[in-house]
Amino acid sequence: MMRRFALLLALLGLAAPAAAHHGWGSYDAARPITVTGPIVASQYENPHATLRVRGDDKVWTVTLAPTSRLAARGAAASVVAVGMLVSAYGYPSTVTRDEMRAERITIDGKTYEMR
């Protein structure tokens, strides 16, 4: 009985991080968009870094790659900091209004790929 309980706890512990992560199926790859503007908020944390970008008509939530991938490509937290001007190319969410998943971002003339 104790082994079953321990196994159940282990499985629940593994399921929690997976539940927090989302798939990419809820973004419309047939309708790419570009959002350009200043970064008004930045969360450099996993499972994905997130920016809030003031575009021409509204503030967008821009989902980026995991922080390990961003860092490996030179996009440290200081690069995607509040106040920086960013151009984000990617796909709009089909579920959450004013959200997009970035394929690439350009800051200070340098482009960072998210894949």
Rounded mean pLDDT, 97-111 = 97
CATH number assigned to the domain comprising residue 45: 2.40.50.1010
In a domain, 57, yes or no: yes
Confidence of residue 115 (pLDDT cuts 50, 70, 90): confident
Whether residue 19 is predicted with pLDDT greater than 50 in this model: the reply is no
Whether residue 114 is predicted with pLDDT greater than 80 in this model: the reply is yes
Whether residue 25 is predicted with pLDDT greater than 90 in this model: the reply is no
Instruction: Report residue 87 CA to chain centroid gap.
Output: 14
In a domain, 13, yes or no: no
* CA atoms of 98 and 51, how far apart (whole Å): 12
In a domain, 11, yes or no: no
* CA atoms of 66 and 115, how far apart (whole Å): 10
Nearest in space to 99 (alpha carbons), one of 19, 35, 3, 25? 35
In a domain, 50, yes or no: yes
Whether residue 48 is predicted with pLDDT greater than 90 in this model: the reply is yes
**In the chain, how many domains are there?**
1
Predicted TM-score of the model (pTM): 0.79
